[in-house]
Amino acid sequence: MEPSGVSNEKRPTVDLIKDKNGTDQILLQNPKGASVKISLHGGQVISWKTDKGDELLFTSAKANSKPPHPVRGGIPICFPQFGTRGSLEQHGFARNKMWLVEENPPALPSFDSTNKAYIDLVLKPSDEDTTRIWPHCFEFHLRVSLALDGNLTLISRVRNINSKPFSFSIAYHTYFSISDISEVRVEGLETLDYLDNLFEKERFTEQGDTLTFESEIDRVYLNSRDVVAVFDHEKKRTFLIKKEGLPDVVVWNPWDKKAKALTDLGDEEYKHMLCVDGAAIEKPINLKPGEEWTGKLNLSLVLST
């Protein structure tokens, strides 16, 4: 029985669960039934579902979810390096480390918690492996939140607690679940310069009005506007990617030949995924001792009739 005067409306919930390998995960649910699942392995969002239970993120059926393997899908965080642009392992170490739930995170005054399910995670250089390959003292605070309207937001704060400056790159390597790669277009990248990783990072300028897909693509679009849209004609839905502090956008699909060479991706699965990342890659972020950087990614879904 609800006490008189107390609303029996559903509230946002945050639950600690485990996957089949025993890895801790966080399940966020909003009052309408939408959900987000985050693995403490990598601080990686691995599921984002609508209130009707539709999965919006792609994860490969062949993905290896057993640590320390990075999971092929969801939203792995590439930090402090993207790709092979540096001396570290591909995409850096953050996606392979165990993150901790942060009980008393630094205040985030601009955050409105009304009707939001959210969790704070933190990554610190806690082992010798990390400090040996990247000898910097840092704190990476990550807040993942699910709003009443189903929007997913990731807020990253990286603080330099070292006595010397350091720089880093970052990308939210978002695998969107799509009907078919031939049915999808991306808007918001028109006339931008991009670095083409299929041509030794050579710089080109985007000529088309919208971006459509007929072959492998691996590009970093530079200094993009703050909103990029992914239209899926067959599913009659649009992903809106809004970002702050993340000037670049990565667009990646391996296509058929590359897909067959990836052991954790099915031969035909490339047709049902597209990576569009909010990122800071071309110009690494420089932090002096005591400085903090904040980046924000907001993902929303718009259904068309």
Looking at residue 296, its pLDDT comes to: 97
- Is 207 annotated as ligand-binding? no
Degrees to nearest 5, angle at CA 36 with 95 and 32:
170
The 10s digit of each residue's pLDDT in 175-229 is: 999 999 999 999 999 999 999 999 999 999 999 889 999 999 999 999 999 999 9
**Can you give the pTM of this predicted structure?**
0.94
**For residues 169 and 10, what is the distance between their CA atoms, to the nearest angstrom?**
40
Q: Report the CATH architecture of 13-104+112-179+252-298.
A: Distorted Sandwich (2.70)
Compute the average pLDDT of residues 4-29: 84
| Cβ pair 186, 208 in contact under 8 A | no
What pairing do the DSSP bridges indicate for beta strands 152-160 and 292-303? antiparallel
Torsion of Cα atoms, 70 then 216 then 193 then 153, to 10°: -40
| Residue, of 55 and 7, whose pLDDT is higher | 55
Looking at residue 86, its pLDDT comes to: 60
Whether pLDDT at 64 is above 90: no
Torsion of Cα atoms, 143 then 123 then 25 then 111, to 10°: -10
Whether pLDDT at 123 is above 90: yes
Question: Domain-by-domain residue ranges, the chain?
Answer: 13-104+112-179+252-298
Return the number of other C-beta atoms located less than 10 Å from residue 255's C-beta: 16
- Residue among 19, 42, 41, 17 at smallest CA distance from 27: 17
Looking at residue 66, its pLDDT comes to: 77
Looking at residue 63, its pLDDT comes to: 85
Compute the average pLDDT of residues 45-67: 93
The 10s digit of each residue's pLDDT in 250-294 is: 999 999 999 999 998 999 999 999 999 999 999 999 999 999 999
Q: What percentage of the chain exceeds 70 in pLDDT?
A: 94
**For residues 205 and 191, what is the distance between their CA atoms, to the nearest angstrom?**
6
Compute the average pLDDT of residues 82-103: 82
**For residues 193 and 20, what is the distance between their CA atoms, to the nearest angstrom?**
43
**For residues 249 and 240, what is the distance between their CA atoms, to the nearest angstrom?**
13
Return the CA Rg of the chain: 19
C-alpha distances in Å from residue 4, one per residue of 1, 7, 8, 20, 112: 9, 8, 10, 42, 28
- Is 44 annotated as ligand-binding? no
- Is 11 annotated as ligand-binding? no
pLDDT band for 36, please (50, 70, 90 cuts): very high
Burial class (CB in 10 A: 0-12, 13-18, 19+), 269: buried
Compute the average pLDDT of residues 79-107: 85
